[in-house]
Amino acid sequence: MPEQHANRPHEAFAAILRLAVPSPLRRTFDYLPPQGYSSTQVAELKPGMRVRVPFGSRTLIGVLLSLEAESTVTVEKLRPALEVLDAEPLLPPSLLELYLWSAQYYQHPPGDVFHTMLPALLRQGNRAERPGRKVWQLSETGQQLTDEDLRRAPRQREIVEFLREHGALDKSAVTELDISASALIALQANGFIVMEERPPPVAGVQGTAHAVRQGLTLNAEQESAVSTIVACLDHFQCHLLDGITGSGKTEVYLQVIAAVLAQGRQALVLVPEISLTPQTIARFRQRFQCRIAVLHSRLTDSERLNAWLEARDGVADIVIGTRSALFTPLQRPGILILDEEHDSSFKQQDGFRYSARDLGIVRARTEDISIVLGSATPSLESLHNALSGRYTHLHLRGRAGEANPPALRLLDTTHEVLTEGFSGILLQQMREHLARGNQVLVFINRRGFAPTLQCADCGWVAECTHCAARMTLHRTQAHLRCHHCDARRPVDRFCPLCKSRNLQALGLGTQRIEQFLEEQFADTRVLRVDRDSTRRKNDLDVLLNEVHQGKPCLLIGTQMLAKGHHFPAVTLVAILDADAGLFSADFRGQEHTAQLLMQVAGRAGRAGAPGEVVIQTRHASHQTLQTLVTEGYGAFARSLLEERRAAGMPPFSHLALLRAEAVSAKAPEEFLAQVRELAGELNAQMGSGVQILGPLPSPMEKRHNRFRAQLLLQSPQRPALQQLLTALCPLLEAHKSSRSVRWSVDVDPQDMI
Ligand code: ADP
Ligand code: ZN
Ligand code: ZN
């Protein structure tokens, strides 16, 4: 009787369940099958199923990775699992493989990787079933409405028109399409619309190929990009689509996706956090009348689960989302597209510190499909791979349609007297553009009024009591605020050291620029777009709507404005200060600043009116800036690559950053000194030759009341670095002083803070 042997697996068959369990440990856990499981039942278990297990005094939900014949733990010590939650694996094997690969590569606990990647409801043990959908529909009276009837209620009319065209409005799409809830309520109250419950849609009902609208006629470079990518759809290939802002990259994506849909396959599109806007989604919806699952941050848990399942079950043809959407399973994967591949939001900066771009490439390889990385300002990593022939390098050099690329110009301010950051020449130019009825964008990447409050008599500076950082002065709410821990306090009236009342606001922030420009341009509307002015849900839309009306205005913005938006009436972009970023200590400072400058510059002159970009600098003769302005980003990036090669920095070497933090000032450095020793020993044993630098205090030594230090590991060979980390991390987990600090590993760190 096989049943009798069910709990003595070593005798008969592979019946140890190896699981990823949400725990902070970098290892898997073995269990016996649930009590009373027959050998037939055990044989039906498959990797990718969820299993409820006892864990210490708790019960947790783990994911089955494999069935093993033997455990590293003696069988007597193994506990039986409590329950298997799925009849079929939740995930296809390719995604299981991706999850495990990334746990290993990023040295992150596998249980936590699964935990981070699964929708919350699945982590909590809910059934992997799609619920019915709730949709709005026109009622009989609603169908008889004429255009006249809703003349005075444009938002209601929009909804009625949408329903006429599409038949139904998914409740979950209401936020995504930015539809007014009060207009819906009004329509319902009048009996014009009703809500209905529909069964979940199934795959393949719609037939996708004919649901694609005609695209634009491509120019030669677009044509060549599309045909190169389409020729590679049936195998793994990475393409870098290197095209200036407005060159028609999105049109290339759309036409590639059309080809993928025609093959009956699905497309996964990743965009930076900041550009997942209703406008982006609208562009896809206009082109494709098929099912599009959008994974945005405002989804409820059940909407998120539904989107995930629609993708997995092949119901959604297109999936669009930010970083974490990379982990959405697809039934028939056809293409992976990552727009603005250089964007830092593709790298997760805490917890499971992965790069969605790098894992995207791994995923494409696992699923044997092509991946397209698009950017106007490719990261040096991707550019290097394209130049060395690992990726195909597709260029879009001109702007699509009519518009001309903006002209960049450096404005040397070395001998200029600046008033609130503006040279006289710049103010004059702004006046001229406004007088011609155009809009002007002023870019300054710092919110608040001023970054520093200083005593003019003794030099005291207002600092955060929790961080090694200065407090930013905010004028609108009249307080000091720390931009690192969000601590706030009233503005000091006098200096706490010398009692002087002579306190000065030093440096420039968006609020200060706003105040100054309102005085200088009394008749012109001044609009400020930063995190503070767009806190509430519709703030940004209201501001952008006003800009889009096209009347002359002054637009002040931080990097929030730099991406994804089109401002056709802006003809002058003024960049107040390019120097801080270009000369920062971070080795990626120049790269990131140049990317940001080019992105901001790309906002100008999109519709016929030629744009002009003025960059104020005290380093106008600096070689790097010169190259950027006269020869463009491509030439600039190549010269930066040569510098990196000479210095042996990424992409010519590989880094891992070990960070530690603690309440006590000494603990982080002491812990890392021990790590250094351990790493040194392993290095010697394995002959890996990894360089170990530090420990050093972090660039920001104290944050949120915790002291911070870091240790950098560097190697020209990735495998050597990986080997060392794989041996090192378990030792650290077991190390006794690892309990007095919080530590983490960041493989391929983007930010050295
Ligand atoms: P990018 O994604 O590179 O910034 P977009 O795809 O948004 O560029 O294109 C910029 C503008 O040019 C859009 O208004 C788009 O409709 C238009 N456009 C793109 N390709 C073409 C084309 N082949 N012919 C005419 N207009 C085009
Ligand atoms: Zn003082
Ligand atoms: Zn602080």
Query: What pLDDT, on a 0 to 100 scale, did the predictor assign at position 200?
Result: 72
Query: What pLDDT, on a 0 to 100 scale, did the predictor assign at position 202?
Result: 65
Cis peptide before 695 (omega within 30 of 0): yes
Q: Which residues surround ligand 2, an ion (CB under 5 A)?
A: 455, 457-458, 460, 495, 497-498, 500
Measured CA to CA, the distance from residue 306 to residue 128 in angstroms comes to 9
Pocket of ligand 1 (CB under 6 A): 216-219, 222, 243, 245-251, 400-401
Residue 204 — very low, low, confident or very high, per pLDDT cuts 50/70/90?
low
pLDDT at 7 over 70: no
In a domain, 96, yes or no: yes
Measured CA to CA, the distance from residue 746 to residue 656 in angstroms comes to 6
Residue 403 — very low, low, confident or very high, per pLDDT cuts 50/70/90?
low
Calculate mean pLDDT across residues 383-394: 97
**What is the radius of gyration, based on Cα positions, of the chain?**
29
Query: What pLDDT, on a 0 to 100 scale, did the predictor assign at position 203?
Result: 62
Measured CA to CA, the distance from residue 323 to residue 130 in angstroms comes to 23
pLDDT at 393 over 80: yes
Measured CA to CA, the distance from residue 149 to residue 243 in angstroms comes to 47
In a domain, 717, yes or no: yes
Ligand 1 centroid, distance to 218 Cα (angstroms)? 9
Q: Are residues 378 and 239 in the same domain?
A: yes
Return the H-helix or E-strand segment holding 662: strand 654-662
- Domain limit, last residue, from 150, 177, 198: 198
* CATH number of domain containing 73: 3.40.1440.60
Asked if residues 47 and 62 have their Cβ atoms less than 8 Å apart, the reply is no
* CATH number of domain containing 269: 3.40.50.300
Residue 401 — very low, low, confident or very high, per pLDDT cuts 50/70/90?
low
User: What is the DSSP pairing of strand 266-270 with strand 318-321?
Assistant: parallel
Q: Are residues 166 and 32 in the same domain?
A: no
501 class by beta-carbon count within 10 Å (0-12 exposed, 13-18 middle, 19+ buried)? exposed
Tally of helices (H runs) and strands (E runs) in the chain: 24, 30
Residue owning tokens 């002209």: 407
Three-state DSSP at 357 gives: helix
pLDDT at 302 over 70: yes
* CATH number of domain containing 729: 3.30.70.360
Tens of pLDDT, residues 115-163: 888 999 999 999 988 877 788 888 888 888 887 888 888 888 888 888 8
54-58, 152-156, 219-223, 714-718: which range is least confident on average? 152-156
Which protein residue's CA is at the shortest distance from atom 4 of ligand 1? 246
User: What is the DSSP pairing of strand 370-375 with strand 472-474?
Assistant: unpaired
Tens of pLDDT, residues 480-531: 999 999 999 999 999 999 999 999 999 999 999 999 999 999 999 999 999 8
Q: Are residues 473 and 604 in the same domain?
A: no
pLDDT at 2 over 50: no
Calculate mean pLDDT across residues 204-211: 53
pLDDT at 11 over 50: no
In a domain, 723, yes or no: yes
Measured N-to-C along each axis, helices 623-631 and 633-647 cross at an angle, to the nearest 10 degrees, of 150
Tens of pLDDT, residues 220-268: 999 999 999 999 999 999 999 999 888 899 999 999 999 999 999 999 9
Ligand closest to Cα of 456 equals 2
Query: What pLDDT, on a 0 to 100 scale, did the predictor assign at position 404?
Result: 66
In a domain, 401, yes or no: no
Which protein residue's CA is at the shortest distance from atom 15 of ligand 1? 248
In a domain, 665, yes or no: yes
Q: Are residues 37 and 49 in the same domain?
A: yes
Which protein residue's CA is at the shortest distance from atom 12 of ligand 1? 400
Q: Are residues 103 and 8 in the same domain?
A: yes
Asked if residues 218 and 229 have their Cβ atoms less than 8 Å apart, the reply is no
Three-state DSSP at 382 gives: helix
pLDDT at 700 over 60: yes
Tens of pLDDT, residues 655-690: 999 999 999 999 999 999 999 999 999 999 998 889
Tens of pLDDT, residues 448-465: 999 999 999 999 999 999
User: What is the DSSP pairing of strand 452-455 with strand 691-703?
Assistant: unpaired
β-bridge partners, 450:
473
- Domain limit, last residue, from 123, 145, 172: 123
2-16, 167-181, 311-325, 729-743: which range is least confident on average? 2-16
Ligand 1 centroid, distance to 394 Cα (angstroms)? 16
Query: What pLDDT, on a 0 to 100 scale, did the predictor assign at position 181?
Result: 84
Query: What pLDDT, on a 0 to 100 scale, did the predictor assign at position 5?
Result: 43
| Closest to 738 in 3D by CA, of 659, 656, 680, 665 | 659
Quick one: how far is CA 611 from the chain centroid?
29
Tens of pLDDT, residues 616-666: 999 888 888 899 999 999 999 999 999 999 999 999 999 999 999 999 999
pLDDT at 342 over 80: yes
pLDDT at 12 over 50: no
Handedness of CA 698, 701, 704, 706 (dihedral sign): positive
Sheet containing strand 488-490, strands side by side:
472-474, 479-481, 488-490
Residue 481: C-alpha distances to residues 451, 470, 699 (Å): 9, 9, 20
Mutate to test the pocket of ligand 1, among 224, 251, 253, 269 (most ligand atoms within 8 A of CB): 251
Residue type, 509: G
Q: Are residues 426 and 549 in the same domain?
A: yes
- Domain limit, last residue, from 623, 644, 665: 644
- Indicate the average pLDDT of the chain: 89
Q: Looking at the 3D structure of the chain, how many domains does it have?
A: 6
**Secondary structure, 3-state, 155-215:** HHHHHHHHHHHHCCEECCHHHHCCCCHHHHHHHHHCCCEEEEEECCCCCCCCCCHHHECCC
In a domain, 128, yes or no: no
In a domain, 402, yes or no: no
Quick one: how far is CA 116 from the chain centroid?
15
Q: Are residues 138 and 100 in the same domain?
A: no
Measured CA to CA, the distance from residue 242 to residue 54 in angstroms comes to 51
Calculate mean pLDDT across residues 41-60: 94
Calculate mean pLDDT across residues 552-574: 87
More confident residue, 1 or 36: 36
Q: Which two tokens stand for residue 552?
A: 């002359």
Q: Which domain holds residue 56?
A: 3-123
Q: Are residues 300 and 340 in the same domain?
A: yes
Q: Are residues 470 and 440 in the same domain?
A: no
Query: What pLDDT, on a 0 to 100 scale, did the predictor assign at position 293?
Result: 93
In a domain, 297, yes or no: yes
657 class by beta-carbon count within 10 Å (0-12 exposed, 13-18 middle, 19+ buried)? buried
Q: Are residues 583 and 732 in the same domain?
A: no
- The DSSP output letter for 2 is G
Query: What pLDDT, on a 0 to 100 scale, did the predictor assign at position 80?
Result: 94
Q: Are residues 588 and 661 in the same domain?
A: no
pTM for the structure as a whole? 0.87
Q: Are residues 623 and 556 in the same domain?
A: yes
Query: What pLDDT, on a 0 to 100 scale, did the predictor assign at position 439?
Result: 94
Mutate to test the pocket of ligand 1, among 250, 277, 600, 633 (most ligand atoms within 8 A of CB): 250
pLDDT at 170 over 60: yes
